Amino acid sequence: MTISLLEERARNRFCLISGVFAALFYFGGLAVAGFLPPHAAFLEAEQISAFYVDNNLQIKAGMAMAMFGVSFLLPLIGAVSASMAKAEKSLHFFSNTQLACGVISVVGFIVPLFIWMTAAFRIDRDPELILLLNDLGWLTVLTPYGPFSVQIASVAICGLLDRRDVPLLPRWICFMGLWAALGGIAGALIPFFTQGVFAWHNLFGFYVPMVCINAWFLVLLVHLWKKPSYREPSEVMAV
Amino acid sequence: MNSITMVASNIRLDTQSTTVPEGGVWVFIWGDILIFSVFYLVFMLGRTEDLELFLQSSQSLNQLLGTINTLLLVTSSWLVALSVCRARTQGLSSRGVRIPLVGAMAAGIGFLVIKFYEYYEKSTQGISLVTNDFYSFYFAFTGLHVVHVGVGLGLLAFVYFSANRTKNDGTAVKSLESVGIYWHMVDLLWLWLFVLFYLVV
């Protein structure tokens, strides 16, 4: 039994709203905690530990908020994979890849939140230990660019291979995805620097990857909202 | 029918046999050029802050290998352009298309081999990513470019092998054109990096 186009559109939009909700809560939570923009990588143990002591309540509240929100990314990932599965005529190679990478990405968002929360949990700790946990959190969230790249690239490649009249995505959005997948690779340099443009708080460690990913995320959301292609063109015509 | 109208009708036939070019690929190209432009700016700013260090470090690079690599990539670009031109008239599976593609891939592999030898040479001199600002830029951005070359080689191989099996020549020529555009961009980005790191004194 099939559902009507209107129902399908409603479910799709529900998933998209869920994704927006996740982004707002995640970035909102980090902002409340004072983690946006990131702390400089060159700060010393006393400075970082003072930050965790002075903003203890905000950090815990912000982390809880981000953690609550970030799981709502999963329905969005599911919706994108569902649209991709429609585009793949045979076995669902790319939609499965996207789903798997998406789940890893969500874990990659959640784990650092736990680490920072742990750093804020006992503030009478040795400042060096707080610095360690702070480092661990930032490296965990910013360095593993691989799953993101593969996730974005699998959406893009699936779109490029889709030869239907109304494809999954317009081709320029696919190419923009490939750009975003490649553009943030400088994130791999984060472990080597505490200062300079490649450090985690600076241009190529943070801002360039952020702009690449989020610009694409935004374009993708707007397109999926306005012109979802989860139906064959003939079905769309019939309604 | 006089010769001019014959030529004219041939031209029309030619343009008809060519499919509409892939427009979306330019989003990728300009996006990538934007990232490298940002780098260009950052590098020049860093350079004005410590001119002495940048000049000194720049002279330690192997100018000869850099020049050979530039020639390799430019040749490779030319070979891809040649096979795109031929693909439009002769079809993708012809030898005239496939031989230049193999040449282009060989030149690309040669570029990688020389680049890795240069990295090796620097590392034996005790120079690495963290030696100073100049080398940070050098390793980071030639490294990012190496990733681009690797991706490009994969794409060339993809076009080469799918040319054998393809039933729809129009789509395949389109893919070859897009890969060609990408490969020219990789060439262009290298020319920028070559001028920045090896030549500017």
* 8 Å CB contact between A50 and A132: no
Check the CA dihedral B4-B6-B8-B11 and report its sign: negative
Inspect the interface and report whether the beta carbons of B144 and A170 lie closer than 8 Å: no
- Per residue in B133-147, pLDDT tens? 899 999 999 999 999
Q: Using CA atoms, how far apart are residues B148 and A182, in angstroms rounded to an integer?
A: 8
Distance from CA of B123 to the nearest CA of A (A): 16
Residue reference for tokens 């400042």: A127
pLDDT-derived band at B115 (thresholds 50, 70, 90) equals very high
Which helix (H) or strand (E) segment holds residue A120: the answer is helix A93-121
Query: Encoding tokens for residue A74?
Result: 């999963």
Angle between helices A146-161 and A73-87 (to 10 degrees): 30
Residue reference for tokens 């030869």: A163
- Least confident range from A51-65, A91-105, A134-148, A220-234: namely A220-234
- Per residue in B52-62, pLDDT tens? 889 888 888 99
**Which of A182, A212, A216 is the best mutation test for B, with the most CBs of B within 10 A?**
A182
Check the CA dihedral A98-A100-A103-A108 and report its sign: negative
Which helix (H) or strand (E) segment holds residue A181: the answer is helix A171-183
Query: Encoding tokens for residue B181?
Result: 């555009």
Task: Give B103: exposed, middle or buried? Use CB within 10 Å, 0-12, 13-18, 19+.
Answer: middle
Residue reference for tokens 């890795």: B116
**Which of B33, B35, B47, B189 is the best mutation test for A, with the most CBs of A within 10 A?**
B35
Spell out the residues 6+ positions from residue B153 whose beta carbon is closer than 8 angstroms to its own: B105, B108, B109, B112
Q: Using CA atoms, how far apart are residues B59 and B61, in angstroms rounded to an integer?
A: 5
Is the pTM here over 0.90, yes or no?
A: no
Distance from CA of B175 to the nearest CA of A (A): 10
Task: Give A179: exposed, middle or buried? Use CB within 10 Å, 0-12, 13-18, 19+.
Answer: buried
* Torsion angle defined by CA atoms of residues A14, A16, A17 and A19, in that order, rounded to the nearest 10 degrees: 130
Does residue B18 register a pLDDT over 70?
Answer: no
pLDDT-derived band at A239 (thresholds 50, 70, 90) equals very low
* 8 Å CB contact between A35 and A55: no
Q: Using CA atoms, how far apart are residues A238 and B4, in angstroms rounded to an integer?
A: 51
Does residue B8 register a pLDDT over 90?
Answer: no
* 8 Å CB contact between A67 and A110: yes
* 8 Å CB contact between A137 and A112: yes
Q: How many CA atoms lie within 13 A of A107 on its CB side?
A: 8
Q: According to DSSP H, which parts of chain B are helical?
A: 3-17, 25-49, 51-59, 63-90, 95-124, 133-165, 169-194
Backbone torsions φ then ψ of A126, nearest 5 degrees: -60, 130
- Per residue in B25-62, pLDDT tens? 999 999 999 999 999 999 999 999 888 889 888 888 99
Query: Encoding tokens for residue B22?
Result: 């892939």
Residues from chain B that touch A173, judged by Cβ atoms under 8 A, are 24
* 8 Å CB contact between A26 and A61: no
For residue A215, the one-letter residue type is: A
Inspect the interface and report whether the beta carbons of B35 and A171 lie closer than 8 Å: no
Residues of chain B that touch chain A, judged by Cβ-Cβ distance less than 8 Å? 22-28, 31-32, 35, 38-39, 42, 46, 129-130, 133, 136, 140, 144, 147-148, 151, 171
Inspect the interface and report whether the beta carbons of B24 and A198 lie closer than 8 Å: no
Q: What is the CA radius of gyration of chain B?
A: 20
A52: nearest Cα among A109, A128, A110, A107: A128
**Which of B27, B29, B174 is the best mutation test for A, with the most CBs of A within 10 A?**
B27
Distance from CA of A183 to the nearest CA of B (A): 7
Please tell me whether residue A119 adopts helix, strand or coil conformation: helix
Cα-Cα end-to-end distance for chain B: 61
Residue-averaged pLDDT of chain A: 89
Q: Using CA atoms, how far apart are residues A83 and A224, in angstroms rounded to an integer?
A: 9
Please tell me whether residue A39 adopts helix, strand or coil conformation: coil
Greater model confidence, A164 or A222? A222
Distance from CA of A186 to the nearest CA of B (A): 7
Q: Using CA atoms, how far apart are residues B160 and B182, in angstroms rounded to an integer?
A: 15
Q: How many CA atoms lie within 13 A of A53 on its CB side?
A: 12
Residue of B nearest to A199 (CA): B136
- Per residue in A163-191, pLDDT tens? 888 888 999 999 999 999 987 787 788 99
A34: nearest Cα among A18, A53, A14: A53
Residue of A nearest to B39 (CA): A204
Does residue B15 register a pLDDT over 60?
Answer: no
- Per residue in B49-97, pLDDT tens? 888 889 888 888 999 999 999 999 999 999 999 999 988 888 777 888 8
